[in-house]
Amino acid sequence: MRYINFDGNIYPEHEALLPVTNRAYRYGDGFFESMVMFNRKLPLLEYHWRRILFTADAVSAFLPEKFTQPALESMILDLASMYDALINARIRVQFYRKGKGFYLPDNDELGFSISLDAIDNNRFEIGVGLKAGISNECFKGLSIVSSTKNSSALMYVKAAQFARAEGWDECILTNHLGQVCEGLSSNIFILKEDKLITPTLDSGCVSGVMRNYITTIMGGNVIERDIEYEELEGAEEIITTNAVKGIQWVKVLNGKTYTNQKAIQLTELLNSKLVGFNS
């Protein structure tokens, strides 16, 4: 049997808990946080916590009084303990605004749920390389919530469908100016002349936890600036990042093949610093 934590209590996953009046269901009025657990440890928990606080503020909502970083860690690990063999997992923490009303809520307190899905790997793995393309149907607009992982994800659904129809593993999204923004569930870095370049948050990209960690630990080797679509062709590598998969690399884009040496180095660095695994 599978379980979830719903507002601090553990229930069987199949139990009906959300009414049809739930604001996340009705209006997409919520946000979520995706995390990874390796060997029942939570890499980058502090970065995730900062983003939760940032997002709650951005959507003008507030967390329950007892929902603290230590409480979140404890709830995740308690939920994991319900599964004897579950030591590596993808974690989803979903937040929803509790209030009633139409567009204007009468209460801004957040409710939450926590769910776990088992994964096979016990560390970050680089993978075999992605076949990627760029959607000409969807673009990312800039707004007060564009850098958050909010529950209104129709654009990503459409982009994922577009990628599937084209036979791609990854779809690179552009913003309203036609500049490189992000991937389906990842941030984008390109490598040029031994510098990692990633779009600024002003481009409309999500403020990714792994993006922010890499930007911090790599220091002056990362440049945050606008990336024009044409620059992808001249890049030595195209790297995607997120908190669950870590580092992935684009092998093919528009018929061009890319290398992955920097992606390999970054993956080894993440595993050494965050997982305690040295290759």
Residues in the chain: 279
Of 63, 28, 37, the residue nearest 115 (C-alpha): 37
pLDDT, the chain, mean? 95
Residue 275 has pLDDT above 70, yes or no: yes
Q: What is the pLDDT of residue 279?
A: 65
What phi-psi label fits residue 204: left (phi over 0), alpha (psi between -120 and 50 degrees) or beta?
A: left
Of 182, 236, 234, the residue nearest 210 (C-alpha): 182
Q: Tell me if residue 54 falls in helix, strand or coil.
A: helix
pTM for this model (two decimals): 0.95
Strand partners, 114: 5, 93
Q: What is the pLDDT of residue 1?
A: 85
Q: What is the pLDDT of residue 276?
A: 87
Q: Strand ranges (DSSP E) for the chain?
A: 3-6, 9-12, 30-37, 89-97, 110-118, 130-140, 170-175, 180-182, 187-192, 195-198, 222-224, 237-242, 246-253, 256-257
Going from the C-alpha of 123 to that of each of 42, 274, 279, the distances in angstroms are 11, 9, 11
Instruction: Examine domains 3-118 and 130-275 and report if their fold is the same.
Output: no
Residue 136 has pLDDT above 90, yes or no: no
Domain 130-275 matching CATH 3.20.10.10: the answer reads: yes
Q: What is the pLDDT of residue 52?
A: 98
For residues 187 and 235, the answer to whether their CB atoms sit within 8 Å is: no
CATH (one of 3.30.470.10, 3.90.1530.10, 3.40.50.1370, 3.30.1130.10) for 3-118: 3.30.470.10
Residue 102 has pLDDT above 80, yes or no: yes
Of 197, 235, 201, the residue nearest 214 (C-alpha): 197
Any residues with CB less than 8 A from the CB of 161 and at least 6 apart, and which?
none
Residue 181 has pLDDT above 70, yes or no: yes
Q: What is the pLDDT of residue 16?
A: 84
Band of residue 141 on the pLDDT scale cut at 50, 70, 90: confident
How far is the C-alpha of 179 from the C-alpha of 169, rounded, in Å?
20
Q: What is the pLDDT of residue 85?
A: 85
Q: What is the pLDDT of residue 139?
A: 85
- Interval 238-256: pLDDT, tens: 999 999 999 999 999 999 9
CA dihedral 253, 257, 261, 267 (to 10 degrees): 40
Q: β-pairing, 170-175 with 130-140?
A: parallel
Of 113-117, 143-147, 249-253, least confident by mean pLDDT is 143-147
Band of residue 40 on the pLDDT scale cut at 50, 70, 90: very high
Q: β-pairing, 246-253 with 130-140?
A: parallel
Per-residue pLDDT averaged across 30-55, rounded? 97
- Interval 63-86: pLDDT, tens: 999 999 999 999 999 999 999 889
Q: What is the pLDDT of residue 137?
A: 80
H or E element at residue 233: helix 231-234
**Joined tokens for residue 273:** 């610093």
Per-residue pLDDT averaged across 174-192, rounded? 95
Per-residue pLDDT averaged across 223-231, rounded? 95
What angle is formed at CA 229 by the lines to CA 224 and CA 230, rounded to 5 degrees? 110
Q: What is the pLDDT of residue 93?
A: 98
Residue 138 has pLDDT above 90, yes or no: no
Per-residue pLDDT averaged across 147-166, rounded? 93
How far is the C-alpha of 154 from the C-alpha of 27, rounded, in Å?
12
Give residue limits of the domains in the chain.
Answer: 3-118, 130-275
Residue 261 has pLDDT above 80, yes or no: yes
